[in-house]
Structure 1
């Protein structure tokens, strides 16, 4: 069996710290399971690289990454580099050029954790966010800067292809996981062009899958329902901006961003998919060795699930939950005193057991 070929971009801040622990877990799996082999190559394209070269990655960066099966991404962001540069010159080109039109974010209350909600109900759903267009389209500009008539325009781009393919992915996910409901996040009562078009195309897709329950909520109400009755949701389908906001809220109700993984997925496997923790580079705690590596380790598990090794994904998640149930080795964000490395080591130990 050919070794899985992974490009590793550790990034900025705590990115290298948590990514190191994710690689440690992959190595443990390879030691335990002879059917799993992998190779990694690190690319130190980050803010330091930008300050040295004036670029977030080389001119042929995408060509280099294209040859890999998957990408494991740390975190990007440094106070010395404007956010729009680090995002639009590194993350966005990868997502858009590699047609990673699905942003996949599980919202799951893991065993051993108590979320901030009083009812602490069983929370286990996914947010499927359109990842290639929508509100995060680089279309617009500014005029008359510095004058009283200064103005800006930011255009939302939604295409029939883009909305259809993300809706079809959501329904396929429902079928593949024996679920029975899709929830559409919208705001078509106020955003009367782009969001009405979104609803129209989503509902055309829903009609083709009429055996699966469909519901639609305005984004403001849906945010409230995430808090009031999160157990009601299975698959939440959202545009780029709405999915981004809802997934952070979802992470908050199950323990925080230190536990939140994600995948930027190219469903066809024509290009590599990219997996990363939802949290940022957290420069305030970088270098202190206290960052929670669970989100990045779980992101590596999603990578394995995407390439067909759900068994390995499930093993990692079971090891994480065993650690959380014991509550002996936890980072400060979860009320413990353990270091990033200690948590990674403990998860590896659980895997061996």
Structure 2
């Protein structure tokens, strides 16, 4: 039996995760769910521990982890979220953040030109380096002479392996995005390894854009992209922009993945949204599609495709939540997807 660890988390996390688990259960695959419902802000505020060593052992002993959301206004600062998300990313070396983006219905696109709405691409983001490694500090804090430094880390290994993964999942085209004209040291590493990778894959259409131009091109015509590969901070920004072009963050799935071990942390992009927690209004599609990514990684490709088709049909029929034009609550929207599973 395949064991999946589940962290419902905070805010709307438990609500959307419940719907994702019900979709997984509907296939009768015999998956076992180990639910770590104590991993949340309440436990952190009580104990000072966000994720214990025992929790990490349970997670690493499973085939993958489904996460709802992490974040609570009571847990001020970034320590709580970093102690959960970044601990898992770094300790399990989940060096790829893979965010597929596909428009399920043209009415959800904010773009005015009909011929340029059909976004169907993926952002492959380096997930363990860059500006998010928390190297830096502050001098003379909270004074007019304050100096703050955050260091961006770029390594040969980190860049090589994320470009290699992006090439491996592309069938047509890969665009590498950086800002090497303004950030030259790390940029040289990205440029050198990108040129080497392109030489090894002449079958792919390869291109390079600076991040500001890439953002502009995404809005002008997202249909030109298949796979975008970039660093941690640029990938964070571009993937959110791409998600908005496909209906919003409530629809957006992701996986933090180690392609070598096959382990992944699967989570919707939307966050904990504490302002709507408990109101049965959260969109469950991001969590459901994250579960579909989990199915695909486990080898259940037909089931994963069926989930994608069911969510598309539910959106087209407006059997969905209000943020994407429907009138259903979270639970009813999840039920609609299950009803449409082929």
Which interval holds the TM-score relative to the shorter structure?
over 0.9
Q: Contact (CA 8 Å) 1:257, 1:278: kept in 2 or not?
A: yes
Q: Residue 289 of structure 2: SS of its match in structure 1?
A: helix
Q: Contact 1:112/1:321 (CA < 8 Å) preserved in 2? A: no
Task: Provide structure 1 residue ranges, at least 5 long, that are not aligned to the other structure.
Answer: 31-35
Task: Give the superposition deviation at 1:332.
Answer: 1.2
* Count of paired positions: 339
TM-score (norm: length of structure 1): 0.93
- State the alpha-carbon separation in 1 of the partners of residues 144 and 118 from structure 2: 53
Q: Once the 2 structures are TM-superposed, how far is the Cα of residue 52 of structure 1 from its aligned partner?
A: 1.1
Structure 2: tracts of 5 or more residues without a match: none
Distance 1:202 1:82, change over 3 A: farther
Render the CA deviation track for 1:183-223: whole Å, top value 9, x for unaligned.
01111111111123222222222222223221001111110
CA distance, structure 2, for counterparts of residue 151 and residue 111 of structure 1? 48
1:37 partnered with 2:30: yes
**Which residue, out of 123, 137, 140, partners 1:141?**
137
Note the aligned Cα RMSD (angstroms): 1.3
Aligned pairs (5 A) from 1:137-286: 137-174=133-170, 179-269=171-261, 272-286=263-277
Q: 1:77·1:83 contact (CA, 8 Å) conserved in 2?
A: no
The CA deviation at 1:322 is 1.3
Q: Which moved more, 1:51-60 or 1:111-120?
A: 111-120
**Cα 1:146–1:83, aligned 2, differ >3 Å: closer, same or farther?**
closer
> Deviation per CA, 1:148-186, whole angstroms, max 9, x where unpaired?
432111111111000000000011111xxxx22110111
Q: Which of 273, 290, 293 matches 1:302?
A: 293
CA deviations 1:263-322 (Å, max 9, x no partner) are 11111226x310000001001111100000000000000011111111111010111111
Q: Aligned to 2:131, what secondary structure does the other structure show?
A: coil
What's the counterpart of residue 331 of structure 2? 341
1:79 and 2:69 correspond: no
The reply to whether residue 10 of structure 1 matches residue 3 of structure 2 is no
- Between the aligned partners of 2:197 and 2:93, the Cα distance in structure 1 is 20
Q: Secondary structure at the match of 1:125?
A: strand
Residues of 1 paired with 2:232 and 2:195: CA distance? 18
CA contact (8 A) 2:108 2:324 kept: no
Task: Provide the residue aligned with 2:102 in structure 1.
Answer: 108
Deviation at 1:6, TM superposition (A): 0.5
**Residue 279 of structure 1: SS of its match in structure 2?**
coil
* 2:86 aligned partner: 92
> Which portions of structure 1, spanning 4 or more consecutive aligned residues, are displaced by more than 4 angstroms?
none
Aligned mates of 1:147, 1:181 — CA distance in 2: 49
